[in-house]
Amino acid sequence: MFRTHTCGELRLSDVGKKVTLSGWVQRTRDKGSLLWIDLRDRYGITQLMLEEGISEQHLLEKARHLGREYVIKVTGTVSERSSKNPNIPTGEIEIMLSDIELLNASKLPPFTIEDKTDGGDELRMKYRYLDLRRNPLKHNLALRHRLAIETRNYLDSQGFYEIETPYLIKSTPEGARDFVVPSRMNPGEFYALPQSPQTFKQILMVAGYDRYFQIVRCFRDEDLRADRQPEFTQIDCEMAFVTQEDVLNTFEGMARFLFEKVKGIDVGTFERMDYATAMKMYGSDKPDIRFGMQFVELNDLAQNKGFSIFDDAELVVGFNAAGCSEYTRKQLDALTDFVKKPQIGAKGLVYVKCNADGTFKSSVDKFYSEDDLKIWAERFDAKPGDLMLILSGNTDSVRKQLNELRLEMGNQLGLRNPQVFKPLWVTDFPLLEWNEETQRFYAMHHPFTSPKPEDIHLLENEPGKVRANAYDMVINGVEVGGGSIRIHDRDLQKKMFSLLGFSDEEAQNQFGFLMNAFEFGAPPHGGIALGFDRLTALIAGYDSIRDFIAFPKNNSGRDVMIDSPSTIAQQQLDELFLKVTAVSK
């Protein structure tokens, strides 16, 4: 037996008990006559002690040879500490040792196993097993486990079945790039790993399963941006005989349940906003509504006053940064530099300071009178002491730029507290997105999203105007998930594929099984998929998902711990009827 208790368990009430513990040596402190060891396991840290003259000499010897991260099993008696540590639950006791058994030695770790480590990113990834010993990562994975359990219990209580769908499926080039898996038994043919179980969950609705979910791995072979992983986890859900309202209520309920369970927070009823409003008021389809600074449009007030930059713009739009009229020249220049960064791309920034004395000071004083600016301030609801920030240009671009500026101001003003949660449904997304480069429409969500019935008549001649029964769950400016009411009619699905540029043959070849299924009594259905890595990080108050995944890959898609991907044996290639035409350097 390796232990009678864990290292997080013993309390003052256990004093006098003879106990056995096992764990890792966090540190030893040798004061000559007294020697302490902090013993760590998943559950906590317990202080062990030895005393010259009381403890047996060979134990003291042994203890003096223990290094950091050695694994030991110890036996001793629980005693009350003379100097208590109120910061840890076991801080009132220590173990007076009567035996030490070395279970395994350890080389010196290449970085410290502390909350704040001195290890760099690559080193921590290579020795992930050491990085995972640190408290922040332990808390992250414990939270992830808890969220998964509670998600399942909630959905189970709502009558959902978790049904496993296959990982070896069929490649469908629409959407992101697939990872493929050569089939040995079917030479020249490949499976694909699922980008999501989308078609299978719809098939399950056709099959009458009514309420399906799955916490499931998905795969996308995309060029990895920071904080994107080739494999990621989704809470994937689908319901039959539902309207959009049913889906929103069910998953709003789930999100509220999770926040309540793991954070003890009631996040309240979700705000709702349609896509058009979100774009107009925030310049984003995932607005962070923890703070205001909604957009105010100025065309009618600012144009035709001789300021050609505004006059030539499709849209003049800004927001009020309350309390920022004292921003210095340097601060304002920095904001201008911010919006002019290539990845944001604005040409410049117009500011209007609403001075405390009721006067105004702007970067466009040449063109606008105090009276003009006063009317602007009224529309901005700007008070003395506030700062109006204004951009102009092409509508789509300027909204995106102003969104970036708004978020930056939110950061500067400390309005984006990661422990405050403001969830939101964004609804009524456009069905289709025009791509200038390829000169064709793409599905904004995916080809299975249904158009709003009242917009179907626009499909033929103005497809770009058709709104979808599609919705996103957005929390704190993060798109946590999205979904839609699906098409369940074969003819409408065919039309949709044709709008997306599929020939009948391509559509039949790739999605024939789904369209065939629609001919055998497909019920109305809809669902949602939530990014589980992202949701977990968000709930913990983090931006990056990497430390919420036990074994993430780096930005080249490599697992540097196991050194994968790697070459395979010629025999394996031969069995798969494959030849490699290029190799990594």
Cβ 510 vs Cβ 447: under 8 Å = no
Task: Return the ∠ at Cα 293 (arms to 291 and 298), rounded to 5°.
Answer: 165
Name the one residue in this structure whose structure tokens are 């990085």.
Answer: 131
Cis peptide before 173 (omega within 30 of 0): no
- Of 34, 65, 120, 187, the residue at the interface with a second copy (CB under 8 A) is 187
CB of 27 to a second copy, least distance (A): 13
| 535 touching a second copy, by CB under 8 A | no
| 191 touching a second copy, by CB under 8 A | yes
Count of C-beta atoms within a 10 Å radius of residue 256: 18
Name the one residue in this structure whose structure tokens are 């038994």.
Answer: 185
| 434 touching a second copy, by CB under 8 A | no
Q: Enumerate residues 118-177 that contact a second copy by CB under 8 A.
A: 127-130, 132-133, 138, 141-142, 144-145, 148-149, 152-153, 156, 161-171, 173, 177
CB of 80 to a second copy, least distance (A): 26
| 309 touching a second copy, by CB under 8 A | no
Cα–Cα distances in Å, from 91 out to 7, 26, 48, 434?
11, 15, 11, 63
x/- mask, a second copy, residues 228-257, rule CB under 8 A, reads --xx-x-------xxx--x-----------
| 12 touching a second copy, by CB under 8 A | no
Exposure class string for 330-355: b at 16+ Cβ within 10 A, else e:
eebeebbebbeeeebebeebbbbbbe
* Amino acid sitting at position 124: R
> What is the spatial distance between Cα 536 and Cα 218, in angstroms, rounded to a whole number?
16
CB of 263 to a second copy, least distance (A): 18
Which residue stretch of 106-114, 375-383, 492-500, 539-547 sits at the interface with a second copy (rule: CB under 8 A)? 106-114
CB of 437 to a second copy, least distance (A): 17
CA 577: distance to chain centroid? 39
Q: Which helix (H) or strand (E) holds 333?
A: helix 329-340
Q: Enumerate residues 279-308 that contact a second copy by CB under 8 A.
A: none
Name the one residue in this structure whose structure tokens are 């020697």.
Answer: 35
Q: Enumerate residues 473-492 that contact a second copy by CB under 8 A.
A: 488-489
| 541 touching a second copy, by CB under 8 A | no
| 111 touching a second copy, by CB under 8 A | no
| 570 touching a second copy, by CB under 8 A | no
Q: Taking phi first (over 0 means left), then psi (-120 to 50 degrees means alpha), and beta for anything else, what does residue 96 get? A: beta
Measuring CA to CA, which residue among 415, 421, 411 is closest to residue 474? Answer: 421
| 553 touching a second copy, by CB under 8 A | yes
Phi/psi of residue 544, each to 5°?
A: -90, 140
Exposure class string for 15-27: b at 16+ Cβ within 10 A, else e:
eeeebbbbbbbbe
- Of 80, 122, 434, 513, the residue at the interface with a second copy (CB under 8 A) is 513
- Of 14, 92, 114, 189, the residue at the interface with a second copy (CB under 8 A) is 189
| 226 touching a second copy, by CB under 8 A | no
Which residue stretch of 86-94, 186-194, 286-294, 297-305 sits at the interface with a second copy (rule: CB under 8 A)? 186-194
CB nearer to a second copy: pick between 170 and 452: 170
CB of 288 to a second copy, least distance (A): 28
- Of 36, 43, 111, 442, the residue at the interface with a second copy (CB under 8 A) is 43
Burial class of residue 439, CB neighbours in 10 A (0-12, 13-18, 19+):
exposed
Q: Enumerate residues 53-72 that contact a second copy by CB under 8 A.
A: 69-71
CB nearer to a second copy: pick between 241 and 434: 241
Count of C-beta atoms within a 10 Å radius of residue 360: 22
Residues near a second copy (CB under 8 A), total? 127
Q: Enumerate residues 84-103 that contact a second copy by CB under 8 A.
A: 103
The C-alpha torsion from 382 through 385 and 388 to 389, rounded to 10°, is: -150
